Amino acid sequence: MAQVRDVVFVEGVRTPFGKASKKGIYAETRADDLVVNVFRELLRRNPSLPPERIDDVAVAATTQTGDQGLTIGRSAALLSGLPKSVPGYSVDRMCAGAMTAVTSLSSPIMAGMYDIALAGGVEHMGRHPMGEGVDPNPRFLAEKLVDPEALLMGKTAENLHDRFPHLTKERADAYAVASQDKTAKAYSNGKIQPMLVPTATRHAEQGYGLATVDEPPRPGTTLEDLAGLKTPFRPHGRVTAGNAAGLNDGATAAILAAEDVADELGLSKRMRLVSFAFAGVEPEVMGIGPVPSTEKALARAGLSISDIGLFEVNEAFAIQVLAFLDHFGIADDDDRVNQYGGAIAVGHPLASSGIRLMTYLASQFEEHPEVRYGLTTMCIGLGMGGTVIWENPHYGKEG
């Protein structure tokens, strides 16, 4: 008989994130090869995991075409050398793709249908710009189902500034500078490097190379640097390239397991899943989505925001993070939030980012055994938010 079991996050890894451009580190690297690289590294790091014990593979991509198509979960599993008996599928929930891969695979593990699964996410925005090939139904606009600005994420961020005028551009810029500073500090202290999988690159002019660090960060960024940047989404607006995540390429992956199976195989237990929730909001203020999804996830767990000791909030836009913090009465510079910096500095390859948040949180849990609960949360295009609450298995084990 199936019974409810605890789900643990065994390990997460990612490629270094690149800039989505013809000169970016992954300009001539296939998206599916990025996924293969992180899958193989997970298996290399966990030799006690028999590959045939993996019950399913889910890989997310927002633009599911070309080298991000062909049911990428299954194709990446085959390309990674997993046994042909291991199935796979693809996921699309825009920015929360990898997050959804984790929650979708965790549910059958919880129910006793699966023991172990691989979740992943990839986005090669250099090869596949956001919105490539889409054909929005004309009813969206003809019947005024959404505001026209809902289809352009930068404009939804400007709309958030309109809704919360006290969350000024100056506050957004200050938050962005802090993200760059925290990322530089995390690199300096060796916090990020263990999560990264060195990834081969190829460029017609520069030849072959090896990506070992993220390409997007701009250490040393100042408020003065950001003050004069253009506001591309609105004349005299507040959203700039400096206080928003860039366009990026990269892949992430994680192993999930039932806790008893992790114990059986001697796998690490870096986080324990507590609850998760997704919620919808008005598409034209997409960035407020993490607020209701977090409220739902907290209610389902029987927790309050004061129980959360560490936050990993995806930084699609600084204003979106500030709106979340403001709602819950958390200071802009609260040291529980994004301790290693975030997407404004390292990048946001859309569907891959959810597992990056989880990997950061897992590392912070090890550093903070005094913290019992943490959460990962993000806004999602077309008006949604997603939140996953995790428990620290190291809680109370100081010394």
- Cβ proximity of 285 and 163 under 8 Å: yes
Is the confidence at residue 176, as pLDDT, over 70?
yes
Is 124 known to be catalytic?
Answer: no
> Which of 124, 128, 161, 348 is an active site residue?
348
- Domain membership of residue 21 (yes or no) is yes
Is the confidence at residue 117, as pLDDT, over 90?
yes
- Domain membership of residue 199 (yes or no) is no
- Domain membership of residue 168 (yes or no) is no
- Domain membership of residue 349 (yes or no) is yes
pTM above 0.85, yes or no: yes
Q: How confident is the model at residue 205 (pLDDT cuts 50, 70, 90)?
A: confident
User: Rounded CA gap, 180 and 191, in Å?
Assistant: 15
Name the percent of the chain lying above pLDDT 90: 90
- Cβ proximity of 11 and 194 under 8 Å: no
> Which of 95, 124, 368, 394 is an active site residue?
95
- Cβ proximity of 47 and 229 under 8 Å: no
- Domain membership of residue 19 (yes or no) is yes
Is 379 known to be catalytic?
Answer: yes
Q: How many domains does the chain have?
A: 1
Is 348 known to be catalytic?
Answer: yes
Helix, strand, coil share of the chain (percent; to 5): 40, 20, 40
- pLDDT, mean of residues 141-164: 90
- Domain membership of residue 167 (yes or no) is no
What is the residue range of 254's domain?
7-127+246-389
- Domain membership of residue 65 (yes or no) is yes
- Cβ proximity of 167 and 319 under 8 Å: yes
The CA dihedral of 109, 113, 117, 120, to the nearest 10 degrees, is -80
pLDDT at 141: 83
- Cβ proximity of 388 and 101 under 8 Å: no
If we measure between CA atoms, which residue out of 314, 247, 253 comes closest to residue 14?
Answer: 253
- Domain membership of residue 57 (yes or no) is yes
The Cβ of residue 84 has, within 10 Å, a number of other Cβ atoms equal to: 8
Per residue in 53-79, pLDDT (tens digit) is 999 999 999 999 999 999 999 999 999
CATH number of the domain residue 42 falls in: 3.40.47.10
> Which of 124, 128, 368, 379 is an active site residue?
379
User: Rounded CA gap, 218 and 347, in Å?
Assistant: 11
Per residue in 280-299, pLDDT (tens digit) is 999 999 999 999 999 999 99
